Amino acid sequence: MRRSSCEYTSCYCEENVYLLCKQLCQPPLSQSVEKAWAIWISNENKTVAVWRQGGGGRAYDEEGLAVWDYHVICAVKYQDRSPVIYDLDTTLPFPSPLQAYIRRAFRPQASIRSSFRPRFRVVEARQYLENFSSDRSHMLKAGGGGEFVAKPPSYPCILRASGENNVMKFADMCDLTMPGVVVDLPSLVSALR
């Protein structure tokens, strides 16, 4: 899959990955996909360091360091291959081999303050498609003027029948009622089996 074949809206990674998971779960792509996951990245402080970011024309340091409140990527295991990562905001190859992505985006060997260390909610793609719901209210500017922090996608909101917005529940690594398993960086590789 090429980056150009993916729907992309800057600052709406959760929806970008939802649409990517949808593509991966339908023919013809589903025929070569063994497993796919949406991976939410955050921590208790909502300050997670991710390197090699550059999407959306945003300004980053020379190494592409971004401190996100949360970020969402997609992992895919194609038949008879190791998992790869699809990150629509990275400057790394698209897709990137899992180990290379971890090494360059999270720098596990570096000394990083605990307040910037990532935790991951790993959700099977089909489960993500069944449960994700966003009215985009988390992207409204404070003050009640109805303006968005970043321009929203042109397509309608992705809402379940209940109309519930569960974006921040997915990002909450302490909320164990949400789908998926929450792991730390050393456990991420084993979660993608």
**Cis ω on the peptide bond leading into residue 95 (within 30° of 0)?**
yes
Matching residue, tokens 């985009």:
136
DSSP result, 50-89: ESSB-GGG----TT--EEES-EEEEEEEETTS--EEE-TT
From the list 13, 74, 89, 172, the catalytic residue is 13
Active site includes 71? yes
> Catalytic residue among 11, 21, 74, 87, which?
87
The answer to whether the beta carbons of residues 10 and 57 sit under 8 Å apart is yes
| The one catalytic residue among 71, 74, 89, 172 | 71
Q: What is the Cα–Cα distance from 128 to 102, expressed in whole angstroms?
A: 22
87 is catalytic: yes
Contacts of 143 (CB under 8 A, 6+ apart): none
Per the DSSP assignment, residues forming a β-bridge with 42 are 119
Q: Is 69 a catalytic residue?
A: no
Catalytic residues: 13, 71, 87
